[in-house]
Amino acid sequence: MNKIQIGLLILALILAPYTNAVSVGTGQSLEEHKIVKHLNDQYPEAMRLLEKSVNINSGTMNFAGVKAVGMLYKKQFEDIGLTTQWVDGATFNRSGHLLAEYAGNGPKILMIGHLDTVFAQDDEFQKFRPIDERYVAGPGITDMKGGNVIIIEVLRALKAAGTLENLNIKVVMTGDEESSGRPLSQSKAAIIDAAKWADIALGFEDGDSNIKTAVVARRGSVNWKLDVSGRAAHSSQIFSDEVGYGAIFEAARILNEFRTQLAGKGELTFNPGLIAGGTETNLQAKTSTATAFGKNNIVAKDLIVQGGIRALTQEELDNAKTVMYNIVSQNLLHTNATLQIGDGYPPMAPTPGNYQLLELYSQASMSLGYGTVEAVNPRNAGAADISFAASHVEMALDGLGLMGSGGHTKDEVADMDSFRKNMHKAAVLMHRLSVAHEDH
Ligand SMILES: [Zn+2]
């Protein structure tokens, strides 16, 4: 589909969400009613699949565990009728990614999940454990094995209803979301390629773990490193034409200028997190540790700073980089500074397309009787793989997964009420996207 076709599709959906459907009184069409019933009938199986996948440890660096979760889901996709592929992660030092595909006739939708969790093989938090009727504890249950199972069950229900024929689906479940393999050009290739193919990207992360919100925008996050040098000399000669100002005064100038020129601008934040300076410095990047040796009577020769930047749009990030490079280039006498800004998560910008998709999702939620869905404050939306996809599609939305609390801690607990509801919502949304296509 091209831009204009996608625009028409969305317009048709927003103006008349279910004109060609027979209403059954709740705002759902007959077909949607069937899809929801299928999901409800399948629910006990979905719970079992979730339990099984949570009980397989898949900490990012447990390559065998990540692959085992991938193989469990691979079988499910194949049973539904998708073709699958395991992409080995050796070139980026991770386990790999699971891809699944269904070639129907309709809009191209990318569904995003991840197989890995933050819980290593030796972590004491390993098992699925129901707390009561509504809540279940488990490592990675909301982040994001619940979302993965939602993807599978939604596709199963859409297949049973005949809707899948009117959609083109690619699923990418990465094995390194919690700790990206390097180089990023290798580890993110699968998701970027699928996004270039897709019109629409749907992420099934837990967002800010509020069922009333979804993610239309999220800040990008990259790291930077500043190296500063000065002329070592006796401190009695500092400020002279021969010695100049030294590395520490130069670094102080740079950091202060970063703050005065950039702090409080838009959604941009940046933070120097580590600094060491003196006669000699030493940085261990792996442990993020720095040491320095210096004396009060010697002008500082060497200094390093490490920090991060977060920005909401690529433009905001690019502007910040320009300002920072400019500040770094205007060195005090006999000092030198170099700034390296690394790669990381690109921003997921709040585009009109993303808001239109949110509107459709909210309408689906309302017709199911679950109320409206609103946009998450981008500051509360953590990094996720959809950021690598968002700039390549017309519309992107994340936070469609299983909600709960305590993600990335031993207190991770899922609210299973959201498991059922978010399956229903995603299935109805995707059904409507397929129906709108049929109409044109
Ligand atoms: Zn996640």
| CA 344 to centroid of ligand 1, rounded, Å | 16
Ligand 1 geometric centre to CA of 106 (Å): 28
- Amino acid found at 382: G
- Tokens 């565990």 label which residue? 65
Quick check: helix, strand or coil at residue 2?
coil
pLDDT score recorded for residue 13:
64
Q: Say what the pLDDT of residue 17 is.
A: 46
> Cα–Cα distances in Å, from 335 out to 287, 329, 340?
28, 10, 17
Q: How far is the CA of 28 from the centre of ligand 1 (A)?
A: 31
Q: How far is the CA of 93 from the centre of ligand 1 (A)?
A: 19
User: For tokens 């950021």, what's the residue?
Assistant: 387
User: In the chain, what are the domain boundaries?
Assistant: 3-9+25-218+348-439, 220-345
DSSP assignment of 197-259 equals H-SEEEE-S-TTS-TTEEBS-B-EEEEEEEEEE----BGGGTTSTTT-SHHHHHHHHHHHHHH
Distance from the alpha carbon of residue 129 to the mean position of ligand 1, in angstroms: 20
CA distance linking residue 232 with residue 335, whole number of Å: 10
Ligand 1 center from residue 216 Cα (angstroms):
16
> Quick one: which of 425, 224, 244 has its CA closest to 344?
224
Planar angle of CA 429, 430, 436, nearest 5 degrees: 90
The Å distance, Cα 214 to ligand 1 centre, comes to: 14
Q: CA–CA separation, 397 vs 390, rounded Å? A: 8
Secondary structure, 3-state, 15-84: HCCCCCCCECCCCCEHHHHHHHHHHHHHHHHHHHHHHHHHCCCCECCCHHHHHHHHHHHHHHHHHHCCEE
203 Cα–ligand 1 center, Å: 10
- For ligand 1, the distance from its centroid to the CA atom of residue 206, given in whole angstroms, is 7
pLDDT for 15 equals: 53
Strands (E), 124-190: 129-130, 135-137, 168-174
Largest CA distance in the chain: 88
10-residue block means of pLDDT along the chain (440 residues)?
60 52 61 96 98 98 98 98 98 98 97 97 96 98 98 98 96 96 96 98 95 95 96 97 98 98 94 97 90 97 96 94 98 98 92 97 97 92 89 97 95 98 98 76
CA of 167 to the centre of ligand 1 (A): 26
How would you list the strands of the sheet with 129-130, edge to edge?
A: 129-130, 135-137, 413-415, 404-405
Q: Using the mean position of ligand 1's atoms as its centre, give its distance from the Cα of residue 144 in Å.
A: 5
> How does DSSP classify residue 143?
I
Residue 278 CA to ligand 1 center (angstroms) comes to 40
Distances (CA, A) of 54 to 126, 140, 209, 281, 436: 8, 7, 18, 44, 36
d(CA 385, ligand 1 centre) in Å? 8
| Residue 49: C-alpha distances to residues 72, 152, 153, 169 (Å) | 9, 10, 10, 21
Query: Measured in angstroms, how far is the CA atom of residue 148 from the centroid of ligand 1?
Result: 10
Residue 275 DSSP label: E
Ligand 1 centre to CA of 73 (Å) is: 17
Which run of H or of E encompasses 192? helix 189-197
pLDDT of 288 reads 87
The hierarchical CATH code for the domain 220-345 is 3.30.70.360
Other beta carbons within 10 Å of 165 = 15
The answer to whether the 3-9+25-218+348-439 and 220-345 domains have the same CATH topology is: no
Ligand 1 midpoint to CA 205 (Å): 6
Q: What is the pLDDT, as a whole number, of residue 162?
A: 95
- State the helix-helix crossing angle for 30-54 and 416-439, rounded to 10 degrees: 140
Q: Looking at residue 18, what is its pLDDT?
A: 45
> What's the CA-to-centroid distance between 104 and ligand 1, angstroms?
28
Structurally, at CATH architecture level, domain 3-9+25-218+348-439 sits in 3-Layer(aba) Sandwich (3.40)
Q: Measured between alpha carbons, how far is residue 337 from residues 75, 168, 260, 329 in Å?
A: 54, 51, 19, 7
Q: How far is the CA of 33 from the centre of ligand 1 (A)?
A: 30
Q: State in Å: Cα 244 to ligand 1 middle.
A: 49
From start to end of 294-366, where are the E strands? 302-311, 336-345
Residues of the chain with pLDDT > 70, as a percent, come to 93
Query: How remote is the CA of residue 384 from the centroid of ligand 1, in Å?
Result: 6
Entry pTM: 0.88
How far does residue 217's CA lie from ligand 1's centre (Å)?
A: 16
Q: How far is the CA of 392 from the centre of ligand 1 (A)?
A: 20
What tokens appear for 27 in the block?
């705002």
